[in-house]
Structures are given as structure tokens and as C-alpha cells.
Amino acid sequence: MRVAIIGQGYVGLTIAVGAASAGHKVVGFDVKECLVSQLNSGKSHIEGISDSQLKEYISKGSFEASLDPTVLDGSDVIVIAVPTPLDEARNPDLSYVHSAAELIHNNVKSPALIINESTSYPGTLRKEIAARITGIEHLYASSPERVDPGNTEWGTKNTPRLIGGLTPAAVEKAKEFYSTFCDSIIEVSSPEVAEAAKIFENTFRQVNIALVNEFAQIADALGISGREVLDAAATKPYGFMEFNPGPGVGGHCIPVDPSYLAHVANEVGVPATFIKRANEVNLAMPAYVVKRVVAGAGGSIKGKKIVVVGVSYKSNVADTRETPAAAVIDLLRGQGAVVVWHDELVGNWRRESSSPIAGADVAVLVTKHDGVDVAAIKACGYVFDCTGSIAGVDGI
Ligand SMILES: NC(=O)c1ccc[n+]([C@@H]2O[C@H](COP(=O)([O-])OP(=O)(O)OC[C@H]3O[C@@H](n4cnc5c(N)ncnc54)[C@H](O)[C@@H]3O)[C@@H](O)[C@H]2O)c1
């Protein structure tokens, strides 16, 4: 099939490579000039897609990136994989989805299957995409992406894929497309069910992470190890699922998607109280970390040199979107500490560069990448571990 993918970020490039691997002819459309030329030179910008994979598909003619919206026309399948962030008031910002719909409306003159993979609330495919594309009888399906960047066990191929279409023909065509590179396809009765399933999955994680974050604070105040309690509870073979406490939640999904559900809940007059409370607990975790660091480091961190280790939002990825490390660093600085950070995967961030670990009075481990120098962390005067991975030091 001729496949066009709008947006070449984490999701769009992953699907582009999945589709190219199945022999489709893929064009990755993006509005970022530097990204398009980087991809066409065979350089991947995401973990999980190697430069050699990209070069192979470029040389076979099965992948190219483009800035030209006219490439969308003539596609059998058009996949939308654009950002769905929150605006300043923490409400859904669908401007990228709208611009993708507008691109299709203005450029695509022959009928295609249009699939939305961007995460959004139920009703997005029908009301925010299909309703904005007029004049041509396209097919429409929703197949929310579940990719977990950096996860080597679960990828595009073996993660079951949900599909909901506006019509049976759209479902059939979407199944035909995804079954060429996904092992398991699950058809649901409408796009709204698929859209809601995705945001509920992430809300489930957000709420459970908040619950263990609150529990970690209770356990610490009781003088017991919250992590030991969670491990003990996890020995129950049914009815319990272990989540880990940490410095908060980051990335494009967990801190954002539940607010999309809260938004529609509000519109239909149902208060999403769990989501609101979970946001409050998770957003307060950096302040809790800093309170513990101040106490553990002797009551004051004024003038102390602190290294924050790992600033991406999770292990072994370079993604710093919504990372709780930002608030941890700002709050430590607010208490007069001299703060640097160390993260060789991230390298440069907020106009600062990664610094060595050695020589700090205090080390705060926020995210642990494989290969980080644990001995150097332990050599710092005081260590606070938000990841539960260094035995015998303070932490959550
Ligand atoms: N990153 C993840 O782990 C993940 C997992 C599952 C779902 N999602 C969802 O998938 C969607 C995309 O996320 P992402 O992480 O790939 O985002 P991203 O920021 O990595 O990439 C989005 C890309 O879209 C491009 N873009 C924006 N507007 C465009 C337009 N009008 N036309 C063409 N390109 C445009 C941007 O330049 C960018 O390169 C979001 O809805 C997100 O919630 C993300």
C-alpha cells in the first residue's frame, strides 16, 4: 500500500518503519525541516529505530520523509500521529490534530483510509477529524498508539492493536493494513471505544502511580520501607498489580492523557475526581523529594553542590517532556543549592549541559539509565534515590 504518515515523532516514525518493514511504500510527512532532512540522511532521532534500519528502507525506496503536503494525495492509507498536548489551562490542545485534518482536506483528492493514532478523547476521530474533511468519501478509523519508547519486550509488532472505525469498510481496511505488521488486531465497536480505551489505560497508570506515591509517604512517616511493603503485597498471586513510587510522572502520556478524559467527563457532567487527585499527588512529588533531601542533608542545602542524576522522564530514553526532574532542580535551586545535572543520554537540556557526577555534596537520583556510574553517585556525601535501585541509601 502507499502509506503517508503525518508527524514523524516517536509514534509516526515507529509506524513508518513498521509499515516499511511490511513492504509498504511509506512517506513520512512532517513540518520540521531539520527533522525531515535528518531522516532522509538516514539518521533516526528515537530509541528503538536504528540508523541502519532507516538507511535500509530509504535505499530500498520504501521510506522517505517529506515537507511537501502534496505527497499525501494518492495514498491508500494516511496515518495521523501528531502531538496532543495540554494548553496552559491544562485543557486538551487539539490544534495539531486540526492542522493535520486541514492538510488532508486541502491536499488529498482521492479516497483514502484515514487513521488517527494520536491520543485523544472519545469523539475526536468523528467530530474533530472526519467532520473537518469534506468533499471526498474517505474511510476513517481510530487506532490509538500504545508504543512504550525504550521497551524492548513490547513493540509495534507484538502489542495488540485496537481498531474502531466509522464504518465496517473502514474497519476491514484498517485490519488489512495493520495485520501486515502487527500480530494481534482487536476490533472494537466504534472509534470512541478505541479512543476511550487508550486514555483509560493511561489514567489507570496515573491513578495507581499516585496511589503508591502517597503510600510511599505514609510508609516513610511510619518508619517502614514502602517498597518492601509493595514487594510483599505483590507476592499475592491475584488481585494486586505492583506500581512503583517515584519523583512524579513525565512524558507525553501519563501526565497528559488523563486530563483529556477529565475534560470530556466535565463536558458530560461527571466529575473525574480520581484524575484530579492523582494529578495533585503526582505534581507534589518533586516538593516531597526536595523536603526529604533537605532533611537528609542536615536541614539546609544552601550553598551545597547537588547533582541530579537522570533528567529524562524514564530510564534509557532521552525524552525530557514533562519530566519531574525539572521541578526537582528548580525547587533545589529555590533552597539555595548549586545544582548541576548528569544525563549522558539527554546531553543538552534547558540551555545547560550534562555535568560529571563526581565532586557533588549531594546526589539525587531521579532516573536511572543503564550504565550510569553508581559508584560515583555513592561517593557523594549524601545520596537520595527516587528509583529504589541503590541499596542502603535514603530515598522513596
Ligand atoms: N511518545 C509516546 O510514547 C506515545 C505513545 C503512545 C501514544 N502517543 C501519542 O501519539 C501522538 C504523537 O506523539 P509523539 O510522541 O509521536 O509526538 P512527537 O512530538 O514525538 O512527534 C510529533 C511530530 O508531529 C509533527 N507535527 C506537528 N504538527 C504537524 C502537522 N500539522 N503536520 C505534520 N507533522 C506535524 C511534529 O513536528 C513532530 O515531529 C500523541 O497524541 C501522543 O499522545 C505517544
CA 84 to ligand 1 center in whole angstroms? 7
186-215 per-residue burial string, b: 16 or more CB within 10 A, e: under 16:
ebbebbbebbbbbbebbbebbbebbbbbbb
Does residue 265 have a pLDDT over 90? yes
Contacts of 204 (CB under 8 A, 6+ apart): none
149-173 per-residue burial string, b: 16 or more CB within 10 A, e: under 16:
bbeeeeebeebebbbbbbeeebbbb
Helix (H) or strand (E) holding 217: helix 191-222
Distance CA 355, CA 376 (A): 12
Q: Is the CB of 90 under 6 A from ligand 1?
A: no
Contacts of 265 (CB under 8 A, 6+ apart): 271, 272, 275
Which atom number of ligand 1 is nearest to the Cα of residue 117?
A: 10
Q: Is the CB of 30 under 6 A from ligand 1?
A: yes
The string of DSSP codes covering 232-289 is HHTTSSSS-------S---SSSTTTHHHHHHHHHHHTT---HHHHHHHHHHHTHHHHH
Give the pLDDT of residue 217. 98
Residues 37-93 pLDDT 10s: 999 999 999 888 999 999 999 999 999 999 999 999 999 999 999 999 999 998 999
Distance CA 178, CA 163 (A): 9
Active site residue 380: no
| Of 277, 272, 249, the residue nearest 260 (C-alpha) | 272
Q: Is the CB of 2 under 6 A from ligand 1?
A: no
Distance CA 305, CA 340 (A): 8
Distance CA 383, CA 84 (A): 37
Radius of gyration (Cα) for the chain, nearest Å?
A: 23
Does residue 149 have a pLDDT over 90? no
DSSP letter for 86, please. Answer: B
Q: Can you give the pTM of this predicted structure? A: 0.92
Q: Taking residues 195-202, what's their average pLDDT? A: 97
Distance CA 385, CA 396 (A): 7
Give the pLDDT of residue 253. 92
Q: Is the CB of 94 under 6 A from ligand 1?
A: no
Distance CA 221, CA 226 (A): 10
Amino acid of residue 146: R
Chain centroid to CA 226: how far? 26
**pLDDT averaged over the chain?**
97
Which atom number of ligand 1 is nearest to the Cα of residue 102?
A: 31
Distance CA 248, CA 331 (A): 14
Per the residue annotation, which of 182, 253, 380, 386 is the catalytic one?
Answer: 253
Give the pLDDT of residue 135. 96
Distance CA 37, CA 55 (A): 13
CA 267 to ligand 1 center in whole angstroms? 25
Give the pLDDT of residue 356. 98
Q: Is the CB of 6 under 6 A from ligand 1?
A: yes
